[in-house]
Structure 1
Amino acid sequence: MQRKDIRKRNSIRHAEYYNMVEIQDELYRQGIMKKKFHNLMPIIASPQNIRMAYRNLKSNKGSNTPGVDGKTFSDYAGLEDAELIGKVQEKLLNC
């Protein structure tokens, strides 16, 4: 199996684990129908989406590259789940 296929399968499995499949399927369905999206921030900032994104991104090669704040994923690895979610939500909602 090719690496791309494995990543896609893992991403789908993570979406199932974090109960995001129905939301993603509905967004996909609406996108096919050319619907314009509004007010997506509640989905983006939801705890389950943040958990899924963190899990998917932490294993990427780029996760060891510091961001604009100089931090990498390893700087956040020791945080409790609620603290990590709170920090991400704060950044997202204060843009």
Structure 2
Amino acid sequence: MVKKHLDSLYADGTKGEVFTHLMELISSKENTRMIYRTTKGNTESSTVGVDKRTVQDLAKLSEERYAALIQK
């Protein structure tokens, strides 16, 4: 559901649509869960983030803890 919504937003953006309240979408629980699943599945990446964590470090977190970090 979130992916379809994001795809729709992307399509509207390519047509020049202007959006507001994007932080609500970015930090929604549904979106953070999708980000978590995508990150956890990205086992090839070894890039360290600004918080000094790798994808492998984040994959060890529970979905709830990961969502809390994203929303923070």
TM-score, length-scaled by structure 1: 0.58
Pair 1:54-2:40 in alignment: no
**Pick from 14, 18, 21: which aligns with 1:39?**
21
The structural deviation recorded for 1:25 is: 4.1
Q: Distance in 2 between matches of 1:25 and 1:57?
A: 19
Pair 1:27-2:28 in alignment: no
Q: Distance in 2 between matches of 1:75 and 1:21?
A: 25
Pair 1:88-2:70 in alignment: yes
Q: Distance in 2 between matches of 1:86 and 1:68?
A: 17
The structural deviation recorded for 1:61 is: 3.0
Which residues of structure 1 form unaligned runs of 5+? 1-18, 91-95
Q: How many residues align?
A: 71
Q: Distance in 2 between matches of 1:51 and 1:24?
A: 14
Q: Once superposed, which parts of structure 1, at least 4 consecutive aligned residues long, lie more than 4 Å away?
A: none
The structural deviation recorded for 1:32 is: 4.2
Which residues of structure 2 form unaligned runs of 5+? none
Largest Rg, 1 or 2:
1
Q: 1:25 to 1:68 in 2, by over 3 A?
A: closer
Q: What percentage of residue pairs aligned between the two structures are identical? A: 34
Task: Give the superposed CA RMSD.
Answer: 2.1
